[in-house]
């Protein structure tokens, strides 16, 4: 469990650097008459959403995270701690923060530190203010607490909640006046929340349903946290007629545990629109085998998958390809190459598979192998501009 948690946090740190600006999300905090709610639509192309719970220990608050499965663990995108402090991450265009060189740099992840140590938004703002935030940012952090306070941290800029609600999507509030924005989701959510009336979970549900996404990056899950009661309300795959509620205090009394969000609901179609339920990604199985043995045993295990056991897993090219790419990004380049070689073996007509393998070879300094595989990718897909560019770079060396 400790190994899994540490690796999850490592991928969490990577996710802060690798946010995808094209991925939409809608987050808002709303409060009135003692009710404080925090709501989110998580819009992404990956259906493997998870929720996991980490009880309080060693002076750290108990906390819950929501996110997606990559490299056999979940990349947190939002969460709630046992003090009623919630957060969510919104991707956005890349921008540079100058920072304050007089302040110290923090070597870890400030969201993790905030959820472990902070109780209020005021404490979060003070914590971020203590450190030099210099660097390239690709998004913004939204925090809210049980008092009704909320904030959007946009690099070294801070936007506090002033009325009964605060909304964020994928543009920056600091730029909205000078550059304007064209975000239907932001305008729709704002218009609905401006209408007077009781603040309820049903109000949040209606707003989330109105701004849900379809297409390439659809809404995978939605959540409404009751920050005073510690209730986690979940919706799955844009079905707002079905809600599952979890009590944070009850879940945190248990040992650390992880739940596939899909398992909390009746079998539902995956994002592709077919009728089979969301399956467990085979990368989870391969990651377990790698932890216990090595990558060669993991690829061997994949080749032996047959019949009913194979049907349990999503063994698609996409899952294997992402797994191999993640290994390379995490410095395990040789392991990543072996997984990507497996992808090419199983999908010999895929231009993307050869492109990914070529990239991994290039990262490992195996330039001749990279050239060979980029050439194969281009042969299959002459419009692969990335392969053409990389080939030219490699030949010019």
User: Over the stretch 199-221, which tens digit does the pLDDT of each residue have?
Assistant: 999 999 999 999 999 988 899 99
pLDDT tens for residues 312-367? 898 999 889 989 998 998 889 999 999 999 999 999 999 999 999 999 999 999 99
Q: Are strands 280-281 and 313-314 parallel, antiparallel or unpaired?
A: parallel
pLDDT at position 304 over 50: yes
Q: How confident is the model at residue 13 (pLDDT cuts 50, 70, 90)?
A: very low
What is the per-residue pLDDT for 92?
Answer: 87
| CB-based contacts of 206, cutoff 8 Å, min separation 6 | 192
pTM, entire model: 0.78
- Which domains occur in the chain, in start order? 2-264 (3.60.60.10), 280-395 (1.25.40.10)
Q: Give the pLDDT score at 3.
A: 32
Tokens 């409404």 found at: 224
Burial class of residue 102 in the structure, from the number of CB atoms within 10 Å of its CB (0-12 exposed, 13-18 middle, 19+ buried): exposed
More confident call, 368 vs 69? 368
**Confidence category of residue 179, pLDDT binned at 50, 70, 90:** low
DSSP 104: B
In whole angstroms, give the CA distance from residue 332 to residue 240.
41
How large is the C-alpha radius of gyration of the chain?
22
Q: With cut-offs at 50, 70 and 90, classify the pLDDT of residue 241.
A: very high
DSSP bridge pairs for 41 = 26, 222
- Span 280-284, mean pLDDT? 88
How far CA 140 is from CA of 19, 156, 320, 346, in Å, comes to 10, 10, 30, 39
Residue 257: which H helix or E strand, with range? strand 257-260
> Would you list the DSSP string of 83-112?
TS-EEEEEEEEEEEE---TTSBPPSS-HHH
Q: What pLDDT shows up at residue 10?
A: 38
- Classified as helix, coil or strand, 28 is strand
Non-local (6+) Cβ contacts of 340 within 8 A are: 321, 324, 325, 328, 353, 356, 357, 360
pLDDT at 94: 85
At residue 138, the pLDDT reads 85
The neighbour count for residue 18, using CB atoms within 10 Å, is: 12
Residue-level pLDDT at 47: 81
The yes-or-no verdict on residue 7 having pLDDT over 50 is no
SS3 294: coil
- Helix (H) or strand (E) holding 189, with range, is helix 184-194
- Confidence grade of residue 5 (pLDDT, cut at 50, 70, 90): very low
* Rounded Cα gap, residues 355 and 255, in angstroms: 42
Encode pLDDT of 141-158 as tens digits: 999 999 999 999 998 899
Q: 131: which DSSP letter?
A: B
Q: What is the pLDDT of residues 39-97, one digit of tens each?
A: 999 998 888 898 999 999 999 999 999 998 766 556 789 999 999 999 999 988 888 89
The gap from C-alpha 59 to its chain's centroid, in whole angstroms, comes to 26
Angle at alpha carbon of residue 245, lines to 33 and 144, rounded to 5°: 45
- pLDDT tens-place string over residues 97-143: 999 999 999 988 899 999 999 999 999 999 999 999 998 888 999 99
């Amino acid at each position: 469990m400790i190994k899994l948690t540490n690796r999850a946090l490592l991928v969490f740190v990577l996710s802060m650097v690798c946010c995808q600006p094209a991925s939409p999300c809608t987050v808002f905090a709303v409060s009135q008459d003692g009710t404080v709610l925090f709501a989110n639509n998580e819009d992404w192309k990956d259906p493997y959403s998870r929720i996991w719970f980490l009880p309080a220990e060693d002076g750290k608050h108990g906390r819950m995270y929501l996110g997606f499965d990559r490299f056999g663990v979940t990349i947190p995108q939002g969460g709630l701690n046992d003090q009623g402090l919630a957060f969510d991450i919104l991707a956005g265009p890349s921008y540079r923060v100058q920072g304050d060189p007089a302040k110290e740099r923090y070597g870890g992840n400030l969201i993790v530190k905030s959820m472990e140590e902070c109780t209020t938004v005021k404490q979060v703002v003070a914590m971020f203010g203590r450190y030099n935030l210099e660097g390239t940012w690709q998004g913004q952090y939204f925090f809210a607490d049980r008092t009704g306070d909320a904030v959007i941290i946009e690099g070294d800029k801070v936007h506090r909640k002033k009325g009964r609600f605060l909304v964020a999507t994928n543009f920056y509030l600091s730029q909205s006046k000078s550059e304007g924005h064209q975000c239907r989701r932001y305008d729709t959510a704002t218009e609905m929340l401006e209408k007077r009336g009781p603040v309820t979970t049903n109000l949040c549900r209606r707003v989330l349903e109105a701004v849900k996404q379809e297409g390439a990056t659809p809404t995978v899950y939605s959540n409404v946290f009751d920050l005073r009661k510690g209730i986690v309300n979940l919706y799955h795959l844009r079905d707002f007629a079905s809600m599952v509620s979890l009590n944070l205090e009850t879940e945190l009394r248990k040992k650390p545990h992880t739940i596939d969000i899909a398992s909390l609901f009746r079998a539902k179609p995956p994002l592709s629109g077919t009728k089979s339920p969301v399956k467990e990604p085979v990368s989870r199985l391969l990651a377990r085998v790698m932890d216990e043995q090595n990558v060669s045993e993991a690829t061997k295990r994949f080749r032996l998958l047959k019949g009913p056991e194979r049907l349990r897993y999503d063994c698609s090219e996409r899952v294997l390809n992402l797994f191999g790419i993640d290994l390379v990004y995490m410095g395990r380049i040789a392991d990543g190459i072996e997984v990507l070689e497996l992808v090419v073996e199983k999908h010999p007509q895929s231009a993307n598979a050869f492109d990914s393998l070529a990239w991994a070879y290039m990262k490992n300094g195996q330039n001749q192998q990279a050239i060979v595989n980029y050439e194969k990718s281009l042969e299959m897909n002459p419009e692969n501009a990335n392969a053409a560019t990389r080939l030219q770079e490699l030949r010019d060396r």
